Amino acid sequence: MTSTTPDILVVGAGIAGLTTALALRRRGASVTVIDQSRPGTEASWAGGGILCPLYAWRYPDAVLALAARGMRDYPALIASLTGDIDPEHHVTGMRILDPVGPGESAALIGERLERFGIRHRWQEPRDGDQAPLCLPEVANIRNPRLLQALRQTAEANGIEIRANRRCERVAVQAGRFAGIDTSSGRMHAGQLVVAAGAWSEPLIPQARHESIFPVRGQMLRLVPRGERHLSTILMDDGVYLIPRVDGSVVVGSTVERAGFDKTVDMAAQDALQRKAVERCPELAGAVVTHRWAGLRPGSSDELPLLGEHPTVEGLWVNTGGYRNGLAMAPATAGLLTDLMTGRRPELDPAPYRVARMLSA
């Protein structure tokens, strides 16, 4: 099912755009998605795929509410995928070796996790170290595969996806969305969803400079020699180790403001690898098979932007996932789709409103 003028156009075929397109399609809308490059090859490809915020209790309620909801909704998202790609949703749990930061206590951490339904248990400390914290229900996902599976599912459900088509400008007439100018001409639709990740800001009329910006994260993938040892996600001193189903280990990540530059630098890479080996000595001698960087969509208050543009009817936004865009995706797509289809969302949309990022 394709039409030249779909009900809804989505700009950006990352996790935000594809999950939103699918949720809207399931409510009966015709949807076309465009992407300036190959779908699912930017931040959503680069991410670690941990389906829970790191040191979750340090995030504001508005992020935790979406992330906790996303964690619960992932099995249903996975079950809804069609096609032959297994995204390897892998419940490994997460073990955090340095949970209690300055001004924090085990009681405070436990209270916040419980409030959002994130199960936890404390483990015995060793040699004067902090007691590690275990979150047994945390999963990780092979996100590049998830994105391929989402694309297949979207197309099987009649969503048209056009790669290598860049949205240059959003046209507005009399306070209403009136189409987009793309690298291949004008496109029309009833409504628009801007889900262009770190590149979203110029597509949101009146967006303040630096309201949405890229935050580079560098990663590497190690293949251990010999037996597999790591069975759970390990987190310490800001560095995480993620065991994949095939026994490889993904290590991340830096948090850098470097514009739209996706190069990796060896000093940062070596530091990540060194920390990984310190935490997991079995990784000494592991082979580095990949090094990469991606651009997280950061927002100036570190909350996502979800909702309709306050002065442009028919223009909607789903971006600003920052470090948790994969974990939150089913919830952000669900919330935006509820708003677009006139259903009352379960979560309060107020903290995510677009107006807060616009110039007066």
Ligand X SMILES: Cc1cc2nc3c(=O)[nH]c(=O)nc-3n(C[C@H](O)[C@H](O)[C@H](O)COP(=O)(O)OP(=O)(O)OC[C@H]3O[C@@H](n4cnc5c(N)ncnc54)[C@H](O)[C@@H]3O)c2cc1C
Q: Which residues bind ligand X (CB under 6 A)?
A: 11-17, 34-37, 42-44, 46-50, 166-167, 195-199, 217, 219, 252-253, 294, 296-297, 319, 321-327
State in angstroms the smallest separation of the CB of 269 from ligand X: 12
Q: Are strands 191-194 and 315-319 parallel, antiparallel or unpaired?
A: parallel
State in angstroms the smallest separation of the CB of 322 from ligand X: 6
State in angstroms the smallest separation of the CB of 326 from ligand X: 3
Q: Which is nearer to ligand X, 15 or 77 (CB)?
A: 15
Kindly report the length of the chain.
360
Q: Report the half-sphere exposure of 81 (CA within 13 A, side-chain side).
A: 22
State in angstroms the smallest separation of the CB of 317 from ligand X: 10
Element (H, E) at 20: helix 15-26
151 neighbors 16 (Cβ within 8 angstroms)? no
Six-digit token pair at 5?
């003028």
Q: Which is nearer to ligand X, 169 or 225 (CB)?
A: 169
Residues 6+ apart with CB under 8 A from 175: 311, 312, 313
Residue position matching structure tokens 């990022």: 357
Q: Which is nearer to ligand X, 77 or 326 (CB)?
A: 326
72 neighbors 64 (Cβ within 8 angstroms)? no
Rounded to whole angstroms, how far apart are CA atoms 229 and 247?
Answer: 8
Q: Which is nearer to ligand X, 174 or 214 (CB)?
A: 214
State in angstroms the smallest separation of the CB of 29 from ligand X: 19
Q: Which is nearer to ligand X, 6 or 297 (CB)?
A: 297
